[in-house]
Amino acid sequence: MRRHAFLLALLLVASGAFAEGWDEIYTARLNGSATYLESRLTLKSAEADYAEYTKSYIPTVSINTGTSDSDTSYIVIGSDGITSGTLVPTITFEKILGGADLFFEAPVDISSGQISMVNPAVGVSRTLFPETAANKLDAQAALISAQASLLEIKNSIRTELATDVLDFIYYRRLLESNRENLEVLQKVRAATVDTTTQRELDKRILEAQKSILTATSALANIKDDVKNNADALYADITRLQSGWLASIKGAEPTSTMSIRALELSLAAAEKRKSFSILPYLPNPTIAASVYYNTDTSKVDWALSFTLSYDLFNKSENALSVLKREEYPTIYRLKLEDAQKELKDGIRQINEALESLELDKKIQEIDIADSEEEMAREEKLYSGGFVSEEDYVMAKIDLAILKIEAQKIDFDILVQQLKLAQYYDEAQ
């Protein structure tokens, strides 16, 4: 007997060792979510766009074969190797000095196997009306919005996984309890002769069968990653929940990352509205450069203008002006909606939590009453003053009440996790 018990203990330890925990399954669900993976890429893109404005001190280094249409702009390789061509190494600092690009270039010419430097230059270029401030605000808004979206997805998957685990624990316990209850009820029903008691027992049997059907169906809908690791995951939830819910102990949030992003978008739209005439104006790129002319051994300079302007473009300019005028109003309305959604969301969850706390107190009273009743029934049954039918039904009632009390605790935790999402996004 001891040997069998020892082997069973080893089996339980081994099965626990192979069980996956919260971190592994949560990570797997994240990596299995197309929405999460796409949101992560969106965040990377937003970070790169915003870095153009905040990290202008980091240059872009490039090498190209020149911009001329002549043959010397291309690397030509013949039977004797490289015979001609031009390489232009360039270092560019983008979006500095109010939206300008500063560049250094040192063209290298290859001709008949000889390598020489051609007219190294330093220059600066910028559009006449760059709108750098508005563009930076838009880039920052996009970055914060992407961060908020990724955080929301991660929290949603966390809540979904926790809900699956809690549902599995609840329905598994409900299924096991009702199977035991059904077996007992059927035995008692077979031995009962009183018709009134028979009807009551028939009702209880049908209720147990319905509960078994409900629990079986619910368990079938839960994913295998939870089914196969439910106990380990439940232990992890018990251990981790205090950290997940730490944020809700603070002051109620009045803003979130999403709201902050809308505020930045509104500020950018207002800047563009203040210069709404821009679509009707030419916006040339002005470039100034100083270069060393290797042919004349002199320092020369050049000033250039690049312009592209549509005199008639099927009302596109008018549409651009209209957008500049309307978007401040649009973002202002979106901001009001987001602020209202935040308040309503927190209020609705707090109301749900308050209702669940009342349910919990009611259930505690019912359980206390049922335990007292069960103690009396047990004494009376032992003394032969109460029928087995009444004793069994009182015992079943108490077991079901305790299961439902645990379900209330689970529902409270799920609502708290949803509430924590608002607090986390407010950080």
Query: Per-residue pLDDT tens for 99-126?
Result: 888 999 888 887 766 777 888 999 999 8
The structural domain count of the chain equals 1
User: Is residue 343 situated within a structural domain?
Assistant: yes
3-state SS, one letter per residue, for the chain: CHHHHHHHHHHHHHHHHHCCCHHHHHHHHHHCCHHHHHHHHHHHHHHHHHHHHHCCCCCEEEEECCCCCCHHHCCEEECCEEEEEEEEEEEEEEEECCCEEEEEECCEEEECCEEEECCCEEEEEEECCCCHHHHHHHHHHHHHHHHHHHHHHHHHHHHHHHHHHHHHHHHHHHHHHHHHHHHHHHHHHHHCCCHHHHHHHHHHHHHHHHHHHHHHHHHHCCCHHHHCCHHHHHHHHHHHHHHHCHHHHCCCCCCCHHHHHHHHHHHHHHHHHCCCCHHHCCCCEEEEEEEEECCCCEEEEEEEEECCCCCCCCCHHHHHHHHHHHHHHHHHHHHHHHHHHHHHHHHHHHHHHHHHHHHHHHHHHHHHHHHHHHHHHHHHHHCCCCCHHHHHHHHHHHHHHHHHHHHHHHHHHHHHHHHHHHHHHCC
- Identify the pLDDT of residue 1: 42
User: Is residue 63 situated within a structural domain?
Assistant: no
User: Is residue 14 situated within a structural domain?
Assistant: no
User: Is residue 256 situated within a structural domain?
Assistant: yes
- Identify the pLDDT of residue 227: 96
User: Is residue 262 situated within a structural domain?
Assistant: yes
User: Is residue 268 situated within a structural domain?
Assistant: yes
- Identify the pLDDT of residue 78: 63
- Identify the pLDDT of residue 404: 95
Collect the ranges in the chain with pLDDT lower than 70.
1-19, 66-84, 112-113, 427
* Structural domain that includes position 205: 21-55+119-425
| CATH number, domain containing residue 329 | 1.20.1600.10
- Identify the pLDDT of residue 19: 67
pTM given for the model: 0.84
User: Is residue 90 situated within a structural domain?
Assistant: no
- Identify the pLDDT of residue 6: 46
User: Is residue 206 situated within a structural domain?
Assistant: yes
- Identify the pLDDT of residue 426: 86
